[in-house]
Every structure is written in structure tokens, then in C-alpha cells.
């Protein structure tokens, strides 16, 4: 393709994008200005798209994200179980630029000057903003594991967390493939709150699904720092007692004290050491590092408290924090679905603020987490959260929400539909 032709196609795509945007211009409500979004995950990508869509293109949006494409944590446990590949959970970022006119910057934000309203990057660039959105996900607290302190990067090559999807997911899958039949896979779960409450139990099911078919003499050992299964307890326990009987063993109250990386042995505050063939250590987590840099980590030195009408930090003026980095409201899980909904409340509030209007006084959120028990059979937990003005929080509506009665293939089909729709909602 010649240069001119490529440029022409890009211009055509951009024009088509403006066509999409012009259709929404009536809802823009006079918002003008510049928004910088840091992190193109579930929260940040959705915020970038909705800021452009809902402003009819009148607000300039820059998205800073170092990854080449979006790799989803939701559905990544199927890659670990072997029924999907990493390509199946990967979506390119291009449409955010070509269709929605987002300025994509492939870089890492390293500095935030909240007073001057400027973000700087590892690549040496700086971006000024009227409003800043931070959705950097999680950072691992490697310092809580003594043997990780010297070289955490090496430690996670031996004991993958696979709690940020990408190379770690593929590494854990390879370790499981290389494991001999009759081996043990041990999964260490940190104390709540952590990203995706049902995620570790879904992962145990997916590894058990693989073992049952390919390595039937092998075991899945779940070592949970929590006193009990933190999500969908009845449904997971049933799966371990029936579908995966003799494969999965669950041990509560197993807070990790240290890891002997040389012998792949997990050591606990209480309880016997566990030596295994594959050790999957999910360390405790806190808000992504850039939140600390921006000075918006306000709760327990871990999470960012926000005003739930706008998702603006209670400390950093003009800084909105989304997704896993936030101090969750009561009953609000750290999930991709939630991060997507946070993004929409924040986008609406930012556009109102840029137009000199107050925020919507009654924001609503939904959440749904599907968990795969087998490669096809799925269970859900769903909830609706409404703003409570007296408590200044977004709380689950009593009498709403709930769980699946049992796993089903029908919900498996809906889970794949959820993934296609939420990926497109954030990125296309």
C-alpha cells in the first residue's frame, strides 16, 4: 500500500468516526476541554471512548497505555485451563483512535503534577489536562513476601501470579502443561480485598477441568488466606465435591508467610508447609503505582477514596480514579464490569463539570461476574447498586441481585456474549 493510500484510509476512518460522533453532538451539552486517561484497561478504555462519544467529539481525550493491545483478565482462566488461547482474549486498541478519535499514546505515565495539571511519561513527554482519569489497575505488594524482596521479577517467573493477563497467563499454562501427571498445583489466595473475588476459585475449577481430562492423578490444592470461600461459596463447593471430586482440596485460613522458591514450597503463618510442582502465588494488591505518585492513595496506604457521584479523588482535585484502584464501596467488588460502570459515571460527571453543570445526583451501577466451572458451564453473581445520598455511597439495592441456582451451558453462552459486548463497549 502506498503512503498516500494509507493516509487516505486513515483520514476516511477518522471522518467516519466523526460521523459517529456528530450523531451524538446534541447530548454534548457544551463540554470543552482536555482529558488525559492513564491506563487502557476495563476502566480507562471505557472512559476514553465514552468521553468522546458523549461529548460528540468536542472534548479532547488522550489515553496513555504501554501495552500494545488489550488483554482481558476475564476469560483468561480459560487460557490457563487450555480451552482458549491468549489471542482469544486479546483486542487491539486501534478503533479507539480510528473510530472515536482518541489520541493513543503508547507510554507509561510516571509523573502527575496535580496543581499544574500535567502528566509526564517514561518516554519524556508531557500532557496538560483539565481533568485526569487514573485507571491503573493493581500493583502487587511483593514486599509482603520475604523471598520476593530481593528480586520480585525473578520470583514471578518461578511462581506466576497470572493476575494481570498476558505473558504471566501463558507462563502458568506452560508450567501446567510441563507438569507430570500425579503432580500438585497449589494456588495461594490473599486476604480480601483483592481483584475479582471469585477469580481464584474459577481458576481452581479450570485447572481441575484440565487435570480431569489430561492428568487425572494430579491435584489442585487451594490455600486461602481468608476464613472461607469469599464468593459463590455454595456453587464452587458443589463443583469441587461433585464435578472435581478427588481433584480439588480447599484449605481456609492459610495466610502466606513466605515462599521457598528453590524447592517450590509455600510457608504459612499457621499450618503445614506445602511443596508443589506448580505454585501459583497471588500476592496482596493495592492501587496501581501512578495513584501513589499522584498522591491520591488515601485508604490504608492501599486504595483511593473517591466521591461516588463523580469518582473524583477525595484529595486530588481534578483527578478521577476508576476500577480496582478505588476504595470499594460496601458490596462493590473489584471487577471489570464494575470498572466499566465506574468509567461511565465518571465520564458523565466530567462532561457535566466541563460544561459548568453539577453531576447526575443519582448514579446507578450494575455488576455481573460469570465464573466458568467447566469449559462451557457457568454460574453468575449479579447486583444493582444505587446512590444513597445520606450515606454518600453507592450501595446494593436490597432484594435485588443474586446467584445462579446451578451451573449451565446457557449461562456459558451468555458469558461469552458478555465478553464480546464489554470488549466492544470499551474498545470498538
Partner 1 sequence: MQAIMAIPVLALAATTAFAQAPDANQARDMAATCANCHGTNGVSRGGTDSLAGRSKDDTASKMRAFKAGTRPGTVMPQLAKGFTDAQIDAMAGWFASQPAK
Ligand X SMILES: Cc1cc2nc3c(=O)[nH]c(=O)nc-3n(C[C@H](O)[C@H](O)[C@H](O)COP(=O)(O)OP(=O)(O)OC[C@H]3O[C@@H](n4cnc5c(N)ncnc54)[C@H](O)[C@@H]3O)c2cc1C
Interacting residues toward partner 1 by CB under 8 A: 23, 27, 29, 50, 53-54, 337, 340-341, 344-345, 348, 352, 357-366, 368, 380, 382-390, 396-402, 404, 408, 410-411, 413-414, 416-418, 420-422, 424-425
d(CA 372, CA 204): 10
Minimum CB distance to partner 1 smaller for 298 or for 404: 404
CB 79 within 8 A of CB 169: yes
d(CA 396, CA 392): 13
The CB-of-347 to ligand X minimum distance in angstroms stands at 13
The CB-of-50 to partner 1 minimum distance in angstroms stands at 7
The CB-of-414 to ligand HEC minimum distance in angstroms stands at 4
**134 torsion bin: left (phi>0), alpha (psi -120 to 50), beta (else):** beta
CA distances from 225 to 188, 255, 277, 314, 376 (A): 8, 4, 20, 31, 29
Residue 368 touches ligand HEC, criterion: CB under 6 A? yes
Residue 366 touches ligand HEC, criterion: CB under 6 A? yes
Residue 418 touches ligand HEC, criterion: CB under 6 A? yes
The CB-of-367 to partner 1 minimum distance in angstroms stands at 9
Minimum CB distance to ligand X smaller for 73 or for 296: 73
194 binds, among ligand HEC, partner 1, ligand X, none (CB under 5 to 8 A by kind): none
Torsion of CA 320, 322, 328, 329, to 10 degrees: 60
142 binds, among ligand X, ligand HEC, partner 1, none (CB under 5 to 8 A by kind): none
d(CA 158, CA 281): 10
171 binds, among ligand HEC, partner 1, ligand X, none (CB under 5 to 8 A by kind): none
In 327-408, where does DSSP find H-type helix?
A: 336-354
Residue 371 touches ligand HEC, criterion: CB under 6 A? no
Q: What is the number of alpha carbons within 13 Å of residue 7 lying toward its C-beta?
A: 3
Residues near ligand X (CB under 6 A): 38-44, 64-67, 73-74, 76-77, 108-109, 135-137, 163, 195-196, 199, 203, 288, 290, 323-325, 334-337, 339, 369-370
User: Pairing state of beta strands 59-64 and 103-105?
Assistant: parallel
The edge-to-edge listing of strands for the beta sheet with 103-105 is 103-105, 59-64, 33-38, 131-134, 319-321, 312-313, 306-307
Minimum CB distance to ligand HEC smaller for 170 or for 382: 382
The CB-of-336 to ligand X minimum distance in angstroms stands at 3
Amino acid at each position: 500500500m502506498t503512503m498516500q493510500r494509507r493516509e487516505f484510509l486513515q483520514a476516511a476512518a477518522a471522518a467516519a468516526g466523526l460521523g459517529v460522533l456528530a450523531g451524538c453532538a446534541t447530548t454534548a451539552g457544551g463540554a470543552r476541554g482536555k482529558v488525559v486517561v492513564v491506563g487502557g484497561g476495563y476502566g480507562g478504555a471505557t472512559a476514553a471512548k465514552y468521553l468522546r462519544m458523549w461529548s460528540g467529539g468536542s472534548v479532547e481525550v488522550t489515553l496513555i497505555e504501554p501495552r500494545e493491545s488489550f488483554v482481558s483478565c476475564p476469560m483468561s482462566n480459560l487460557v490457563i485451563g487450555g480451552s482458549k488461547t491468549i489471542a482469544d482474549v486479546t483486542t487491539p486498541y486501534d478503533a479507539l483512535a480510528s473510530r472515536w478519535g482518541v489520541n493513543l499514546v503508547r507510554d507509561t505515565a510516571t509523573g502527575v503534577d496535580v496543581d499544574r495539571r500535567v502528566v509526564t511519561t517514561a518516554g519524556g513527554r508531557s500532557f496538560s489536562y483539565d481533568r485526569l482519569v487514573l485507571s491503573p489497575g493493581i500493583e502487587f505488594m511483593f514486599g509482603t513476601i520475604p523471598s520476593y524482596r530481593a528480586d520480585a521479577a525473578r520470583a514471578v517467573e518461578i511462581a506466576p501470579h497470572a493476575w494481570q493477563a498476558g505473558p504471566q497467563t501463558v507462563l502458568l499454562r506452560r508450567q501446567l502443561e510441563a507438569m507430570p501427571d500425579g503432580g500438585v498445583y497449589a494456588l495461594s489466595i490473599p486476604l480480601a480485598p483483592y481483584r475479582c473475588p471469585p477469580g481464584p476459585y474459577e481458576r481452581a475449577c479450570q485447572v481441575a477441568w484440565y487435570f480431569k481430562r489430561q492428568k487425572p492423578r494430579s491435584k489442585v490444592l487451594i490455600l486461602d488466606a481468608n476464613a472461607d470461600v469469599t464468593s459463590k461459596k455454595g456453587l464452587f463447593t458443589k463443583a469441587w465435591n461433585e464435578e472435581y471430586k478427588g481433584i480439588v482440596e480447599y484449605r481456609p485460613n492459610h495466610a502466606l508467610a513466605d515462599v521457598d522458591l528453590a524447592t517450590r514450597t509455600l510457608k504459612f503463618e499457621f499450618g503445614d508447609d506445602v511443596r508443589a510442582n506448580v505454585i501459583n502465588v497471588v500476592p496482596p494488591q493495592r492501587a496501581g503505582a501512578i495513584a501513589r505518585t499522584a498522591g491520591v492513595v488515601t485508604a490504608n496506604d492501599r486504595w483511593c477514596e473517591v466521591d461516588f457521584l463523580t469518582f473524583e479523588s477525595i484529595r486530588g482535585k481534578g483527578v478521577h480514579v476508576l476500577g480496582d484502584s478505588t476504595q470499594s464501596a460496601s458490596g462493590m467488588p473489584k471487577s471489570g464490569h464494575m470498572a466499566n460502570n465506574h468509567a461511565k459515571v465518571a465520564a458523565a460527571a466530567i462532561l457535566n463539570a466541563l460544561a459548568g453543570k453539577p453531576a447526575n445526583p443519582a448514579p446507578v451501577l450494575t455488576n455481573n461476574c460469570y465464573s466458568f466451572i467447566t469449559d462451557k458451564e457457568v454460574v453468575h453473581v449479579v447486583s444493582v447498586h444505587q446512590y444513597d445520598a445520606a450515606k454518600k455511597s453507592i450501595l446494593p439495592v436490597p432484594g435485588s441481585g443474586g446467584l445462579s441456582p446451578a451451573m449451565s451451558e446457557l449461562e456459558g453462552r451468555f458469558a461469552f456474549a458478555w465478553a464480546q459486548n464489554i470488549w466492544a463497549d470499551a474498545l470498538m
